[in-house]
């Protein structure tokens, strides 16, 4: 165990980018002239392309001491702090020197990523699994299903005239029961709109454009043609990062169990109930027990036909659907560099399917590139402070997954832990295939799905629901050989709706697009398959990757997608 003297230190941490933008370490003439950039390049193992792009984005001035004067830094070796000297900011010539960016000196070093995040949010140098701490929320997200209940708790406990703790940090995203004529579901969106108006909440992604209007879905127009306005954002977990609300180092609470998806961005993100959310809405704080951490080392590279969904289905099959109850799932290893941001979101999203409190990935150049692009695009807060992996961390479980040896995997009815290989399930005849949701309705999911379907035709009812309007747009503007991706999917027999949202992932009212209103068997790119999840209580859902869903839709039975490799 390391000495704990460092916990006394109250230094303020900065990410290299934060340093670059806010503390005087503005753009150096060469990356290697500036310590934060130097560390960024070395630490992130980036190709340099992203690094150079970021360097171009800040003003051409560097206040950092030149490389040759590194030894004079008051904080000693990079990554280590000299506690006798580092409490105060030192002067170097006529310039102020700051402690090196990136390393959070105020935190003890032998914690897991989740412990570090919660320690920081609790204003402590150190927390340990099992400890109860009050943590500050950075963002509270709610949607149309739980939002009205959360608002009710908030108003009951804090008073009808009470104001939310921070109108810029409450993000409201209607997405679940939207495209239905069910009047109570429609009314929920109206309740959210009224609350937003009362409170002056900044980030509300309304279904309609008229702030004084009422949402009514028009069944007569059919389910496929878009009916939302220009602000609508789609499925909350996919919309949060797209709209610039996920940042490394932050704490995100959401009234939805798959809020853990934002752990892909090196933040603590977890689902909470309406009562807790009402409390957070009023105070910006929540009492949390620090979860133990289970470590999953991802090594190697996925083979063709195997996707990120197979990684998490493999892991859940290994530990069971309750195998991580109230634990953090931390993903590490060289294989992470091969996973896109979308892939990481898929994996983190399903941490809850093993009972996990949260899922979390380390910060790297891909995270930085995505977050910076999205926060800049949407004008949301751009500063952030990632937390770093620590080799001395204490975990309660460790598993190494060789990505190169994974095979297309399926979670069979009736829970996400019923793992089988797709090639073992060839006798399971299907009635339906479904691609969509926060987990499986991203652009990259549809692209992979389309690769398998190109020039072929599905043999069973197949439904496609993009997670967000932005994804609809991308699918409708991306062309393969002159053909729009969207049209390719329609030509293959997929019923594609422009009404992006949760749709049948959660069943919903009976008129929900793709809902199973009969005891059917469905292979789905979604994330949960408990009985009744997608509609009829006697239906059966088999969870799989978009590639496996596509190949199975072609065959009419569950197959290994490698049998149908695209030409």
- By the criterion CB under 6 A, which residues form the site for ligand SF4? 176, 235-237, 256, 258, 437-438, 502, 505-506, 526-527
Pairs from 76-82 (Cβ < 8 Å, separation ≥ 24): 78/35, 78/39, 79/103, 81/6, 81/9, 81/11, 81/105
- Confirm if 252 and 288 have CB atoms less than 8 A apart: no
Whose Cβ is closer to ligand SF4: residue 422's or residue 505's?
Answer: 505
DSSP secondary structure code for residue 48 in this structure: S
Whose Cβ is closer to ligand SF4: residue 227's or residue 437's?
Answer: 437
Closest distance of CB 258 from ligand SF4, Å: 5
Whose Cβ is closer to ligand SF4: residue 106's or residue 437's?
Answer: 437
- Confirm if 353 and 528 have CB atoms less than 8 A apart: yes
Structural tokens at position 269 = 């993100």
- Confirm if 500 and 471 have CB atoms less than 8 A apart: yes
Closest distance of CB 81 from ligand SF4, Å: 42
Closest distance of CB 232 from ligand SF4, Å: 14
Closest distance of CB 357 from ligand SF4, Å: 17
Contacts of 23 (CB under 8 A, 6+ apart): 14, 98, 101
Distances (CA, A) of 408 to 23, 422, 511, 561: 48, 6, 32, 7
- Sheet with strand 409-411: strands edge to edge: 419-421, 409-411, 540-543, 521-524, 432-436, 461-465, 494-496
Whose Cβ is closer to ligand SF4: residue 107's or residue 350's?
Answer: 350
Whose Cβ is closer to ligand SF4: residue 13's or residue 505's?
Answer: 505
Over the range 220-248, which residues count as b (16 or more CB within 10 Å of their CB) and which as e? eeebeeebbeeebbbbbbbbbbbbbbbbb
Closest distance of CB 543 from ligand SF4, Å: 11
- Confirm if 525 and 440 have CB atoms less than 8 A apart: yes
Distance (Å, whole) CA 129 – CA 324? 14
At residue 449, the 3 state secondary structure works out as helix
Closest distance of CB 209 from ligand SF4, Å: 23
Closest distance of CB 387 from ligand SF4, Å: 26
Nearest one of 176, 143, 225, 254 to 436, comparing CA atoms: 176
Whose Cβ is closer to ligand SF4: residue 114's or residue 349's?
Answer: 349
Distance (Å, whole) CA 179 – CA 472? 15
Residue labelled with tokens 């000297």: 85
Closest distance of CB 267 from ligand SF4, Å: 17
| Cα torsion angle, 497, 501, 507, 508, sign | negative
Whose Cβ is closer to ligand SF4: residue 459's or residue 495's?
Answer: 495
Structural tokens at position 186 = 């429609």
Closest distance of CB 278 from ligand SF4, Å: 20
- Confirm if 231 and 213 have CB atoms less than 8 A apart: no
Whose Cβ is closer to ligand SF4: residue 27's or residue 237's?
Answer: 237
Distance (Å, whole) CA 78 – CA 101? 9
Closest distance of CB 437 from ligand SF4, Å: 4
Instruction: Name the phi and psi angles at 217, rounded to 5.
Output: -85, 135
Whose Cβ is closer to ligand SF4: residue 354's or residue 506's?
Answer: 506
Closest distance of CB 150 from ligand SF4, Å: 15
- Confirm if 277 and 259 have CB atoms less than 8 A apart: no
At residue 456, the 3 state secondary structure works out as coil
Distance (Å, whole) CA 176 – CA 296? 31
Whose Cβ is closer to ligand SF4: residue 119's or residue 236's?
Answer: 236
Closest distance of CB 331 from ligand SF4, Å: 19
Whose Cβ is closer to ligand SF4: residue 235's or residue 316's?
Answer: 235
Distance (Å, whole) CA 243 – CA 380? 8
Closest distance of CB 175 from ligand SF4, Å: 6
Whose Cβ is closer to ligand SF4: residue 19's or residue 239's?
Answer: 239
- Confirm if 179 and 223 have CB atoms less than 8 A apart: yes
- Confirm if 445 and 453 have CB atoms less than 8 A apart: no
Whose Cβ is closer to ligand SF4: residue 256's or residue 560's?
Answer: 256
């Amino acid at each position: 165990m390391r000495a704990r003297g460092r916990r006394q230190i109250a230094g303020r941490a900065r990410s290299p980018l934060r340093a670059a933008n806010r503390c005087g370490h503005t753009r150096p003439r060469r990356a290697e002239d500036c310590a934060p950039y130097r560390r960024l390049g070395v630490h992130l193992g980036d190709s340099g392309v992203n690094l150079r792009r970021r360097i171009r984005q800040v003003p051409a001035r560097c206040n950092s001491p030149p490389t040759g004067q590194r030894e004079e830094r008051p904080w000693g070796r990079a990554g280590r702090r000299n506690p006798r000297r580092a409490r105060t900011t030192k002067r170097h010539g006529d310039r102020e020197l700051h402690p090196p960016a990136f390393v959070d000196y105020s935190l003890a070093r032998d914690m897991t990523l989740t412990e570090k995040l919660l320690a920081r949010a609790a204003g402590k140098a150190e927390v340990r699994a099992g400890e109860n701490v009050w943590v500050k929320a950075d963002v509270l997200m709610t949607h149309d299903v739980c939002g009205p209940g959360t608002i009710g708790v908030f108003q009951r406990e804090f008073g009808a005239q009470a104001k939310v703790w921070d109108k810029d940090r409450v993000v409201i995203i209607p997405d679940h029961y939207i495209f239905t004529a069910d009047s109570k579901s429609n009314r929920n969106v109206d309740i959210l709109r009224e609350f937003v108006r009362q409170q002056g909440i900044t980030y509300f992604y309304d279904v309609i454009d008229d702030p004084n209007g009422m949402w009514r879905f028009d069944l007569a127009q059919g389910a496929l043609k878009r009916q939302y306005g220009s602000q609508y954002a789609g499925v909350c977990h996919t919309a949060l990062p797209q709209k610039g609300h996920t940042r490394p180092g932050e704490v995100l609470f959401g009234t939805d169990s798959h809020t853990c998806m934002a752990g892909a961005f090196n933040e603590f993100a977890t689902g909470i109930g309406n009562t807790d959310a009402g409390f957070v809405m009023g105070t910006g704080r929540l009492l949390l027990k620090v979860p133990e951490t289970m470590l999953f080392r991802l090594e190697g590279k996925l083979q063709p036909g195997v996707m990120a969904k197979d990684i998490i289905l493999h892991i859940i099959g290994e530990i069971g659907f309750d195998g991580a109850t109230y634990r953090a799932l931390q993903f590490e290893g060289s294989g992470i560099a091969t996973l896109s941001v979308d892939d990481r979101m898929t994996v983190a999203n399903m941490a809850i399917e093993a009972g996990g409190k949260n899922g979390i990935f380390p910060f790297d150049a891909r995270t930085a590139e995505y977050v910076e692009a999205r926060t800049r695009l949407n004008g949301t807060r751009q500063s952030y402070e990632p937390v770093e992996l620590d080799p001395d961390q204490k975990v309660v479980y460790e598993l190494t997954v060789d990505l190169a040896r994974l095979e297309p995997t399926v979670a069979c009815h009736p829970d996400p832990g019923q793992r089988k290989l797709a090639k073992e399930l060839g006798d399971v005849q299907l009635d339906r295939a479904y691609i969509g949701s926060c987990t499986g309705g991203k652009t990259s999911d549809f692209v992979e799905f389309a690769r398998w379907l190109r020039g072929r035709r599905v043999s069973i009812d197949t439904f496609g629901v993009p997670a967000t309007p932005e994804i609809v747009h991308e699918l409708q503007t991306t062309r393969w050989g002159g053909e729009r991706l969207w049209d390719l999917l329609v030509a293959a027999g997929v019923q594609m709706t422009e009404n992006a949202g949760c749709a049948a992932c959660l069943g919903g009212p009976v008129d929900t697009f793709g809902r199973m209103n009969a005891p059917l068997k469905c292979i789905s790119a979604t994330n949960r398959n408990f009985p009744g999840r997608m509609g009829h209580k006697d239906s059966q859902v088999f969870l799989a990757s978009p590639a496996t869903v596509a190949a199975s839709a072609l065959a009419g039975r569950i197959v290994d997608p490698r049998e149908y490799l695209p030409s």
